[in-house]
Amino acid sequence: MKRIWESSNGRHENMTVQEKWSILATVANLYYNSEMTQNEIADRMYTSRSKISRMLKEAGELGIVEISIKEPWERDLDLEHRIQQTYGVKTKELKESLIQDDTIKTALNLAQNADVILTSVGSIEYKTWENYLGESTFQLLGSKGAIGHIGGHFYDINGKELNTSLTDRMIGITYNDLEKCKNVVCVAYGEAKAKPIAGAFRGGFINTLIIDSACGEKLLEQ
């Protein structure tokens, strides 16, 4: 194959636009579709790996390569729960079975007996959990005064835990575990985290705080 020549600034010399795009497309196909490494492509095209890397970057800049990410499909956990109730799908029993697994049991035991837990709080304002809980459950949480969550466990401004359809299926540390830990460090950023932090303090879930000044000022208003 013809050697790829580049100038000192990394651009291709003595090529028409069509020739340049053709080579960039060839390199991109070998890398993304044929799953060759950059070193393998460099050997095949008699050039260096660093030049292949620059060509892949250029292919992206020129729009020859477009990468799209498909988010996971939305789950309707309310519907799942109704099916479980109707047909006896035993998710709670499955959870109890899973936590007897030695690996899971060991991990949970370490977490439950940790001297320090590093965590954050989620704000219901971000609505990221709506995809997992389903719209109706998410709206129900809002009507009950949910303001945030830690590890998928939701609570109100006073730190009262609010049960959801996920509660019986969650595997991980609980609020009781957090309350027993000597030092629970919460790291958070932004004004939207002020209410969840206030609720977590009132519930006794956290006792050490690392936040930015904007969050701190907003926290004093809660």
For residue 107, give the 3-state DSSP assignment. helix
- Cβ contacts of 71 within 8 Å, gap of 6 or more: none
**Would the pTM count as exceeding 0.75?**
no
Token duo for residue 189: 């950023």
Note whether 74 and 131 are within 8 A (CB). yes
Q: How far is CA 118 from the centre of its chain?
A: 17
Domain boundaries in the chain?
102-219
pLDDT (0 to 100) of residue 209: 93
Token duo for residue 9: 């600034």
The mean pLDDT value for 59-81 works out to 70
Confidence of residue 4 (pLDDT cuts 50, 70, 90): very low
Q: Give the residue with greater pLDDT, 6 vs 31.
A: 31
Mean pLDDT of the chain: 81
Which of the listed CATH numbers 1.10.10.350, 3.40.50.970, 3.10.580.10, 3.40.50.1360 matches domain 102-219?
A: 3.40.50.1360
The mean pLDDT value for 129-136 works out to 70
Give the Cα separation of 24 and 194 in Å (integer). Answer: 49
The mean pLDDT value for 17-39 works out to 87
The fraction of the chain above a pLDDT of 70, given in percent, is: 80
